[in-house]
């Protein structure tokens, strides 16, 4: 019953989780909407086929797809070729023969954006051992160009954009202003209320992951409550970002869309509503944002 607006099913399988069992469980849970997110050049067919195989050759109707380029250093360095691969994926995504009709109802470009934890002077040396999302790059100009290319590709196709923005508020907003495409979501929200205001004023949605379940101190709980309450109800989304950002009480384990119930329950408590009502609201918001136009 709980929509997940941002998950990486192939990444979950890469961590050893049984994808077939997960898909069966999600179907049993009557999941209304799940968006499988692209991150690499040309990964769309691989992701679709992996889910097809795990589901016995029939795509679950609740699964939908995006295609996008995460700001990885290697992709930024080869961004012209990466964009060629992405444009080919986007053409496939929008082709009526690529997916069953139900799975074509909702689609997006992403995730894409800026990550100044891994990229730029403070992050270029992180991940050199292969850990995390690194290695990064010092080429922040190239990073911003890749993001702008994707915003322009989304505008040309009238697609919503799933934006990754980490330690990069000013630069992210600057790229969006420059291109002038304001249909999408800032996923995995990590900023405050003043930053939220800047994106909301431009028409963006904001999505919260499992870290809303982590707070133990009253000050942190008050901050999360204020953030959730600040976002207009019709712009609010929830996500897992699975296999990352596992909600409490399962931190330390691989995250899956099945665990998103903990995020809904925590967010609903902060908002003073039932988890069931919040589930209906988020599913409606997801369908409105990601509906194919």
pLDDT tens digits, residue range 217-242? Answer: 999 999 999 999 999 999 999 999 99
| Tokens standing for residue 113 | 């954006």
Q: DSSP secondary-structure letter at 33?
A: -
Number of C-alpha atoms within 13 angstroms, CB side, residue 80? 0
Instruction: Name the E strands within 129-284.
Output: 161-166, 184-186, 205-208, 236-238
Q: Does 115 score more than 80 pLDDT? A: yes
**Which residues lie below 8 Å from residue 53, measured CB to CB, with a gap of 6+?**
none
Q: Is 250 annotated as a binding residue?
A: no
Question: In the beta sheet, which residues pair with residue 208?
Answer: 238
User: How far lies 151's CA from each of 109, 195, 197, in Å?
Assistant: 8, 20, 20
Question: In the beta sheet, which residues pair with residue 163?
Answer: 112, 186
With cut-offs at 50, 70 and 90, classify the pLDDT of residue 135.
Answer: low
Burial class (CB in 10 A: 0-12, 13-18, 19+), 143: buried
Site of tokens 């384990």: 253
pTM: 0.96
pLDDT of residue 177: 98
With cut-offs at 50, 70 and 90, classify the pLDDT of residue 127.
Answer: low
Q: Is 262 annotated as a binding residue?
A: no
Q: Is 89 annotated as a binding residue?
A: no
pLDDT tens digits, residue range 175-209? Answer: 999 999 999 999 999 999 999 999 999 999 999 99
User: How far lies 171's CA from each of 73, 92, 164, 240, 242, in Å?
Assistant: 17, 30, 12, 25, 26
SS3 67: strand
pLDDT of residue 117: 95
Instruction: Report the percent of the chain where pLDDT is more than 90.
Output: 94
CATH fold group of domain 4-290: TIM Barrel (3.20.20)
Average pLDDT rounded to a whole number, residues 98-127: 90
pLDDT tens digits, residue range 29-83? Answer: 999 999 999 999 999 999 999 999 999 999 999 999 999 999 999 999 999 999 9
Q: Is 111 annotated as a binding residue?
A: yes
Q: Is 164 annotated as a binding residue?
A: yes
Q: Is 8 annotated as a binding residue?
A: yes
Please count the other Cβ atoms lying within 10 Å of the Cβ belonging to residue 92: 17
């Amino acid at each position: 019953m709980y929509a997940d607006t941002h998950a990486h099913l192939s990444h979950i399988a890469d961590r050893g989780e049984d994808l077939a069992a997960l898909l069966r469980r999600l179907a049993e849970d009557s999941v209304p909407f799940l968006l499988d997110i692209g991150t690499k050049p040309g990964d769309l067919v691989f992701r679709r086929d992996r889910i097809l195989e795990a589901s016995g050759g029939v795509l679950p109707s609740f699964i939908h797809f995006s295609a996008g380029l995460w700001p990885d250093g290697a992709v930024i360095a080869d961004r012209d070729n990466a964009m060629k691969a992405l444009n080919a994926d986007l053409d496939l995504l929008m082709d009526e023969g690529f997916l069953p009709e139900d799975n074509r109802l909702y689609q997006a470009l992403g995730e894409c954006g800026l990550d100044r934890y891994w990229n730029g002077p403070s992050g270029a040396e992180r991940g050199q051992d292969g850990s995390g999302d690194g290695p990064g790059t010092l080429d922040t100009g190239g990073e911003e160009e890749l993001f702008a290319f994707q915003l322009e590709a989304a505008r040309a196709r009238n697609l919503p954009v799933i934006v990754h923005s980490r330690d990069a508020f000013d630069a992210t907003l600057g790229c969006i202003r420059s291109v002038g495409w304001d249909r999408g979501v800032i996923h995995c929200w990590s900023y405050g209320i003043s930053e939220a205001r800047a994106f909301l004023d431009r028409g963006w949605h904001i999505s919260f992951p499992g870290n809303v379940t982590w707070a133990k101190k009253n000050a942190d709980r008050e901050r999360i409550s204020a953030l959730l309450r600040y976002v207009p109800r019709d712009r609010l989304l929830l996500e897992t970002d699975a296999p990352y950002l596992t909600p409490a009480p399962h931190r330390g384990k691989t995250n899956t869309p099945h665990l998103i119930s903990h995020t809904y329950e925590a967010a609903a408590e902060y908002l003073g509503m039932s988890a069931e009502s919040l589930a209906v609201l988020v599913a409606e918001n997801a369908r409105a944002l990601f509906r194919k136009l």
